[in-house]
Structure 1
């Protein structure tokens, strides 16, 4: 009976142990996946080109307004009209201003006559010096008031301060307008500006090392739709949200097609670099290159299908700073590990970190 009990317990416990062992065997250790910093290799022509969205703006623009309040009498211009410098844009009804001018003209003449008589009587002692000074002050005040009335009357005529085009008309004729109320937006489109927001790294490259990038505004595929740009001015404070810098570029106005302020364009920035040797195809940071057992230069290339790395022997050229020219062994579009190469193994799974700046390996370190 005792043997039967032992046999029964063993018969129950043994399958449980076997089952537990089999479950442990099914749980495989997770495969280590190493995060890596990479760079997609590009040809020098591609790597040194940036394209940014830009907005066209007028070379000069202003909101025109009267310096006095009144009722519009004439508003002969329409949106899109071309105007010349000094051309009348609008006028106010002058009646009220003419009345004020005539009143002050009369006051001025009276004050002038009184002052001139006082000037004749003062040497003879027929008028006190205090009365003379009072009459002189009244005369000068009347003269200033008359000049102000004349100026206000002149302000009822609004003229173009420069030649340009009427971009926007904010009011209709015969409306009552206030002083300094904008009624017309005038733009000088004889030359244009392109506003573009550029990241910090590219602004640095524009200003340092004498690289002097070539800049073009591109409106279409044809060469007649590509225009050279020159840097006019740039902000030295980054935008708080985008951390980019506003750069203003000057461009000649196209004559073959219409380009107006507010339109968009693509700004191509091509860096002029001569540091690569004649046979070099790519440039990599030195941190990406390692030596195999025979000290042959190699890099880790990421397979995008299964996210594993494989060693690739390369031919190298000259070194410059923290980068090296690659003569052969890589193709454009290959993704190369650029940091931590000593900790990788053949066929190891990897996870990509955010891409680094790819146009200039010197900036990746």
Structure 2
């Protein structure tokens, strides 16, 4: 009887508090896009508008005023040719115009004199016709000389290479002292504004992609959430050497300041018409009691787990795009979430079994 009482007393004792349950977590920004679940392509950040800047006339490059990486504004002088020969051509054309105008003045005087003599029938009609033809020829020579003078003046002005818009000098292809041909590229110029990702699509799968399709872009040397972009164009002609099709995806305006020209990137194809956002492993996504999509978010400071409802995109084999409901700084429970309950004590750890920090 005594033993029964003792056992009963033990059964009524308060249960000891349990230690926090270790859970495997990952950031929402690094949990996403998986190369196993999404098609990935290597890319490079480029300007939406890229221009090869060159002189419209040939000559010796006298001065180069900017270098690669310099920020310039529309109308800035970037380089100058030696203006000597161009100025001589302008002077010569001006002299030719003066000679043509002198000849025109003489032809007009001769024509007026012959016209007066013709009225008195002192010269033949054919002689007057010859003077009229000479006058018309002199007028034509003046027009031609004036046009040549204008061309020479314009060419003299072409000795200065100006920036066509605000932008960045992406590369330089000439040095001072070099003799340039007309149209020879001096600078590669990236116009300020839109930024894109240039990548190549394989011949075997190019038909599965189209302009307007949403993509995710990850930068190789920058940690953070993937950037959203949209395919702007796909070349209809394959590159003859690589047999791939050049494609470009325009980054959303809010991402322009986050990228630098020439950065390496990886482009993940999300799916036609589907918005791009954060991506989590398929194992992190569950259904709550009402059948709605949710994930578990762990707080390293309070060591508590809470369910968060999310809006998910189209499921792939190993990952799910999350369109809303999560922040890039959230720690997502990626394994064992089905064993948790609201406000449960947890110990968030990474894949190396190390406790994670809140920031």
Is 1:92 equivalent to 2:81 in the alignment?
yes
RMSD, aligned CA: 3.4
Residue 200 (structure 2) pairs with residue 204 (structure 1): no
Alignment of 1:40-189 (within 5 A): 49-119=38-108, 121-126=110-115, 128-189=131-192
Q: Is the contact between residue 49 and residue 191 of structure 2 (CA under 8 Å) also seen in structure 1?
A: yes
Stretches of structure 2 that go unaligned for 5 or more consecutive residues are: 1-33, 116-127, 275-281, 283-316, 319-359
Q: Residues 221-240 of structure 1: CA distance to partner in whole angstroms, max 9, x if unpaired?
A: 98854221122111223445
Higher mean alpha-carbon deviation, 231-240 vs 156-165, is at: 231-240
Local SS of the residue matching 2:103 = helix
Alignment of 1:1-365 (within 5 A): 49-119=38-108, 121-126=110-115, 128-199=131-202, 202-207=205-210, 213-219=213-219, 224-239=224-239, 243-252=243-252, 254=255, 257-261=258-262, 263-271=263-271
Q: Is the 8 A contact 1:49 1:271 kept in 2?
A: no
C-alpha distance in 2 between matches for 1:249 and 1:107: 55
8 A Cα contact 1:48 1:271, kept in partner: no
For 2:184 and 2:240, the matched residues in 1 are separated by 32
Q: Is the 8 A contact 2:54 2:187 kept in 1?
A: yes
| Structure 1 alignment gaps of length 5 or more | 1-44, 275-280, 282-330, 333-365
Q: For the structure 1 residues 196 and 151, does the alpha-carbon distance in structure 2 shift closer, same or farther, using more than 3 Å as the test?
A: same
Give me the whole-angstrom Cα distance separating, in 2, the residues matched to 1:243 and 1:65: 31
> Is the 1:76–1:90 contact (alpha carbons within 8 Å) kept by the matching residues of 2?
yes
Count of aligned positions: 230
Q: Contact 1:54 / 1:264 at 8 angstroms: preserved in 2? A: yes
Secondary structure at 1:190 match in 2: coil
Deviations along 1:158-184, one digit per CA (max 9) or x if unpaired, are 111122111222222233333322222
8 A Cα contact 2:194 2:256, kept in partner: no
- Name the TM-score, length of structure 1 as normaliser: 0.54
Distance of aligned partners of 1:222 and 1:90 in 2 relative to their CA distance in 1, 3 Å threshold: closer
Rounded to whole Å, the distance in 1 between the matches of 2:186 and 2:224 is 37
Residue 119 of structure 1 deviates from its aligned partner by: 3.5
Q: Does the 8 Å CA contact 1:215/1:230 hold for their aligned counterparts?
A: yes
Alignment deviations for residues 306-353 of structure 1 (CA, whole Å, 9 cap, x no partner): xxxxxxxxxxxxxxxxxxxxxxxxx98xxxxxxxxxxxxxxxxxxxxx
Provide closer, same or farther for how the CA distance between residues 202 and 223 of structure 1 changes in structure 2, counting only shifts above 3 A. Answer: farther
User: 1:48, 1:273 → 2: CA distance?
Assistant: 18
- Output one character per residue of 1:64-100: Cα deviation in whole Å (capped at 9) or x when no partner: 2222222223221122100111111111122222222
Q: Would the alpha carbon gap of residues 72 and 207 (structure 1) be closer, same or farther in structure 2, given more than 3 Å must change?
A: closer
Could you list the per-position Cα deviations for residues 190-224 of structure 1 after superposition, in whole angstroms to 9, with x for gaps in the alignment?
2222122224565433349xxx7431111269885
**Distance between the aligned counterparts of 2:199 and 2:138, measured in 1?**
63
Instruction: Work out the CA distance in 2 between the residues paired with 1:97 and 1:240.
Output: 42
CA distance in 1, matches of 2:35, 2:59: 60
1:285 aligns with none
SS at match of 1:145: helix
- Aligned in 2, Cα 1:240/1:117: closer, same or farther, shift over 3 Å? closer
Report SS of the residue matched to 2:48. strand
Q: Name the CA distance, whole Å, in 2 between partners of 1:104 and 1:190.
A: 42
- Give the stretch that moved more between structures: 110-119 or 137-146: 110-119
User: What's the CA shift string for 1:254-286, capped at 9, x where partnerless?
Assistant: 46644213x321111112699xxxxxx9xxxxx
